[in-house]
Structure 1
Amino acid sequence: MKEQINEQLALLEKELSRLKKVTDYIDDTKKTAQVVISELKEVQDNYSTYTEKIFDLYKTSVEQLKKETELQIKEGVINFETTGSQIDQTNREKLVETKRLLENYRKTVEATNGLVKTLEAVDFPTRLDTIDKKISKNLEEIKQRFSLQDKQNKVIKILLFVILGLIGIGGLGALLIWMKII
């Protein structure tokens, strides 16, 4: 029986040794689980912190973006209004200029129509014939005057020749008398 007890004690010791290994393993697993749980808790705490920081950063970024967008929209609206005002002013100026040009065009058309009516009222063939007759008559009168002037010039030349001849004869006679040749 002592042997049996020893055998049983040896078996018990063997089982206790195995049990100790399992217990040690369980203790190690507990410690590891506690470390993992602690790390997970830290990760969870950090996750909350990081999530809050990310949310705050996101919120700040959204607010900043909103402010910048509102500012850009205001500037865009101001630029749009300024450009619109400039375009409106330019359009008004162009409209005034266009009205002025149209008025000038209307006056030109009226004047042209009046001129066309006046020209249509003139009987050019009759008028040109009358002008041609007057020119022919004036030309004939000029020719007659030139002819008369030529005749008068010839008469004047003859008279001058006769007068010069008489003067020459009178001068020769006077010279002879003066010289007592006669």
Structure 2
Amino acid sequence: MADPKTPAPRLKSDDIDTALVRGLADILNDTDLTEIEVERGDLKIRVAREITMAAPVQYAPAPVVHAPAPAAAAPVSMPSDPATIVAKQGEEVKSPMVGTVYLQASPEAAPFAQAGDTVKKGQTLLIIEAMKTMNPIQSPRDGVVKEILVGDAQPVEFGEPLVLLEA
């Protein structure tokens, strides 16, 4: 065993097996290892590389693109008299998750529910796709669908009103 206080003998460049070092470096690159060490008798070669971590990627929500209104549509204005503003009456069925709303099981199928439909407690009103899973949103009680507040294939947020049931 070598004395730790005795410096290691200096190697000359022709003493180093450069083909071995290059081979070890290739192994690091091919296998995504960060370090490799080989010993042959008194010769010990360690090849290592530093891995720097990139800053975490942050994704911004995709912008919502709205189709332009038809040219013939007149601008909509809010009534100036508060007495003419009618509050929506009924119970809002809200989204329990973030996802994409689908109003029917498939593009060819009929909608689960439409305005004016009488629904029973537990009946599917629509589905929300979240992480490739289809989640049925059911009516919390018997009632009549007064209004569907979202469009088909529309992204929704947690707590966003989806359906208005008549009280």
TM range (shorter): under 0.3
Normalised by the length of structure 1, the TM-score is: 0.15
Higher helix share: 1
Work out which of the two has the higher radius of gyration on C-alpha atoms and give 1 or 2. Answer: 1
Give the structure with the larger strand fraction.
2
